[in-house]
Amino acid sequence: MTDAITSPAGLTPDEGERVEAAASAGTFIGRRDGSVAVWKGIRYAEAPVGPLRWRAPRPAPAAAEPVTALAFGNASPQELVPEMHLGEGVALSEDCLFLNVWSPSASLPSNSDPAPARPVMVWIHGGAYTYGAASQPVYDGAALASIGDVVIVTVNYRLGALGYLDLTSFATDTEQFDSNLALRDVLLALEWVRDNIAAFGGDPDAVTVFGESAGAGMITALLATPSAEGLFHRAIAESSPASSMYGPARSKLVAEHFLAEARMGEGPIGEVRSMPVSAIVEAATRVYSSVPSESPGLLAFAPVVDGDLLPEHPITVLHQGRGLPVPLIIGTNHDEATLFKFMKSPLMPITPAAITTMMQRLASENPDAVLPSREQLLGAYEGVRSRAVGLGIARDIGFRMPTVWLVEGHSTIAPTYLYRFDWATPMLRLIGMAAAHATELPYVWGNLDSNRRDYTFALGGRRTGEEISDRMTQWWTSFAATGTPGSEWPSYDADRASLVIDRTDRVEHDLDAGLRKGWGDAVLSFT
């Protein structure tokens, strides 16, 4: 492989300075933007269409001619929602397996002046396993790459039914299907990074995977995926729904539900490969909403504990300290569930009836676990207004407790850093969102102005927000470079240290003592 960057001549003034990265996958033409060079829309896999729909991804062949990589690739088909702007001019298509690279200009290697390789951070976006794209403005990697002197990679992968529907139980001699398609997409993207990132100034031996929400769920799944070993060396999981992954029995029920919604009837299963993609999205959207409405606490689409690629439930593996032994930052936000209430989303069980149904299901699916009594559980929420207790329970069963269960085990095999994001601007507190799910994202990325319609700072808090962003970008990129976020943030270890991120940060020991007492010793997951 030739690790070389050159600047082609003959550009028109509005195109700016372009740069070429010569890698084993081909030569890619990007653009230099100030102190950062960026390549967008690099194909890492063949289009997963036709006979490749619901099959494992295949690596894209090396490009014979230089590839212009100046625009984001397609996003995975999905129902468009106003709360999630995918980026200007971004199209939806099954042909969506693309990635993007931001690299500090000073890191770009050349034949005459080789530069030291920079740490690499690979982002897996969230969106309830159904929405989102790497092209979302908040994920623009220019600020993070420049501030942290790291190479940033963002990845598109298949979503919803196209990425998570498990049709393996319907396979025939002539029609084969693979499980965990989205997880396989991410693994293939990581293989691309391993084989090509040096041409963009990155160090393939210093790769950090990081993600939020469903992306963080993918991170915790990767930590329990044996074939992921060696593809990354550190991990960051922001608000991981780590317990919301299911086995083949439940995935088959979801598949049957999908086929019924798609009106497939008793026809040959192979007909699913000729369905219009719009029909797949429409059926998947109905399943996405109906599953958690009928079975509170469950998601329709998520990684599948298939006994193959993902042999065991990540919660079990990580709680027992058997995951990939890489350093880990993991945490949640103080008010995770308020976003779901604000959006009227069915994903989080907030009402007393939904919570009761969820707890009954957990009891039936975890027969060997001793679940807390109602009195014991409510004891964890003393002092919480009665109408907010449901939000607290939903937050903790969905995000905080799985994180606590996970760190208890992972901290025994690798340095582990736990946080809770508590900061909320006056406006977010006024409307009842506070430190809701995903509100940490602009601070992590250093992109406080990515959404022009955002009212987060309408009532103040901008200066504090900038200071928090400065700290978070430094912690995240320092971790990517060294495996530690800094001396002011101690690892979890025996004293259960947690960093509380707020206007003034603080380290607390056994921050979750009350929750652990209220929820008891049971480690719970849906199966």
Does the active-site annotation cover 336?
A: yes
Q: What is the Cα gyration radius of the chain?
A: 22
Annotate 2-18 with b (16+ C-beta within 10 A) or e (fewer). ebbbeeeeeeeeeeeeb
- Residue of 233, 319, 334, 437 with catalytic role: 437
SS3 209: strand
For tokens 């990081």, name the residue: 210
Burial 37-75 (b: 16+ CB within 10 A, else e): bbbbbbbbbebbeeebbbebbeebeeeeeebebbebbbb
Please say if 261 is a catalytic residue: no
Please tell me the distance from the alpha carbon of residue 209 to that of residue 146, in angstroms, as a whole number. Answer: 18
Distance (Å, rounded) from C-alpha 259 to C-alpha 439? 36
CA atoms within 13 A on the CB side of 409: 20
SS3 content of the chain, % helix, strand, coil (to 5): 35, 20, 45
**Given 212, 261, 336, 408, which residue is catalytic?**
336
Q: Which one-letter amino acid corresponds to residue 253?
A: L
Q: Which of 237, 265, 247, 357 is nearest to 313 (CA)?
A: 247
Q: SS3 sequence, 12-57?
A: CHHHCCEEEEEECCEEEEEEEECCEEEEEEEECECCCCHHHCCCCC
Helix (H, G, I), strand (E, B) or coil at 243: coil
Q: Which of 213, 239, 244, 525 is catalytic?
A: 213
Give 421's strand partners.
333, 501
Beta strand pairing call for 26-33 and 67-68: parallel
Whether 323 contacts 410, CB under 8 Å: yes
CB-CB contact of 403 with 421 (8 Å): no
Supply the residues annotated as catalytic: 213, 336, 437
